[in-house]
Amino acid sequence: MAIPYHSNHDARIDPTRDQVRHLRDHGRDGPVVMMNLLKFRETADYPPELGMAACSGKAAYDRYQHAFTVAVGAISQAEVLYDGPCEQVFIGQAGSDATDWDKLLLVRYPSRQHFLNMMANDAYRDALVHRYAGLERTVLIQCG
């Protein structure tokens, strides 16, 4: 599956083809929870040709989140389990990249295939421009 090109594309926050293949071909059947650790840009980085008004990285990411939960909700059947700030490092070195996150998002999908179908949807892929604009960095971990 090729990720569509957006002029603000940031490959560091996209899965590789091997990662997508591994998710598709391995793992258990049934529901999966995706744990998203998110660090937002202070100011969203939209391509100038879009003419988007200046906004925060969080506001840009909110547009993207709307796409995967609402715009393609029937395809993803995503259920947000937790959507909130990362408030305090209890164990680990506070302020390091490993612990410095703005938001934790736990999203449940009925299956790996629902998640992959969402990623292949054109409306979802169009919304990636907001993800690229909003995120400084991210980690996405598949959980049981």
10-52 confidence digits (pLDDT tens): 778 888 899 989 989 987 789 999 999 999 999 999 999 889 9
Q: Give me the CATH code for the 11-143 domain, please.
A: 3.30.70.100
* Structure tokens that stand for 15 in this block: 């899965």
Residue 52 burial by CB count (10 A; 0-12/13-18/19+): exposed, middle or buried?
middle
Q: Is the pLDDT of residue 140 over 90?
A: yes
User: What is d(CA 78, CA 69) in angstroms, rounded to the nearest whole number?
Assistant: 6
Nearest-Å Rg of the Cα atoms of the chain is: 15
pTM metric for this prediction: 0.87
